[in-house]
Amino acid sequence: MTEQRTKETRLLQTFAILADTLVDGYDVVDLLQLLVDSCAELLDTTAAAILLADGHGELDVMASTSEASHLVEVIQLSAEAGPCVECFRSGEVVEVPDIADSPVEWSRFRDRALELGFESVHALPMRLRDNTIGTLNLLRDRTGTLDEEDRIAARAFADVATIGILHERSMRETAVLAEQLQGALSSRVVIEQAKGVVAHTNGVTIEQAFELIRRYARSHQLGISKVAAAIVDRSLRLGD
């Protein structure tokens, strides 16, 4: 088997592993670490790192293959300038074939990267439509750019990372929504019970009982569910 064929096989195996990883309960940090490790192992790159934006749009390092690559990312963040930051802001791929030729505003990144032995970088946005959530950053210990096949593979890795993160967020949001829905349903049951109690003790209709509960809740600036719970557990009695 040729070296190219072996690489293609290993890429396919890696994507199969990544697909198996995307199941309920998976750890998104483990997924991202697997991605950057795979980039360093299978692509023509020396180190890899993933930056993610928090709810305020601030970037932070989520996974990296080496302490050196992590330091470069931190330098970019502290200086708020560099190819990975530019990639995130623009939502476009940013390639720097020779870090020594970086713009002057990237000087902190340039100096630290060269000091750590990196000479080129390829930054890819982790993006779904117009929403950029982070960047996948490939650093190399030599000048030049990635070949076309590695570009395609890197793009696929970035897409998998994006899908994995958004899937995890979706599951978390879905779980919260389900919990909220269950809470709402439980509250509704208590309210119905409270209406029955008030109707029975006051000799009124269910509709009138609910109006009594609502009126009490509003006048005391309480939630209807809280008032209903107090009625059901007999700590509150409503009269006409």
Domain-wise residue ranges, the chain: 3-169, 183-232
Which tens digits make up the pLDDT trace of 121-165?
999 998 877 778 888 999 899 999 888 888 888 888 888 777 777
Can you give the pTM of this predicted structure? 0.66
CA pair distance 184, 155, nearest whole angstrom: 43
Q: Tell whether the model's pLDDT for residue 16 goes beyond 60.
A: yes
Q: Is the domain 183-232 a CATH 1.10.357.10 member?
A: no
Which residue, 93, 121, 117, is CA-closest to 106?
121
Q: Is the domain 3-169 a CATH 1.10.10.10 member?
A: no
The Cα-based distances of 163 to 22, 42, 85, 229 in angstroms read 9, 20, 21, 42
- Sorted by sequence, the CB contacts under 8 Å of residue 107 that are 6+ apart come out as none
Average pLDDT of span 58-74: 79
* Residue 93, helix vs strand vs coil: coil
Residue 154: exposure state from Cβ atoms within 10 A (0-12, 13-18, ≥19): buried
Which residue, 204, 207, 210, 205, is CA-closest to 231?
210
Query: Of 58-62, 166-170, 182-186, which has the strongest mean pLDDT?
Result: 58-62
pLDDT at 24: 54
Domains 3-169 and 183-232 share a fold: no
DSSP 234: T
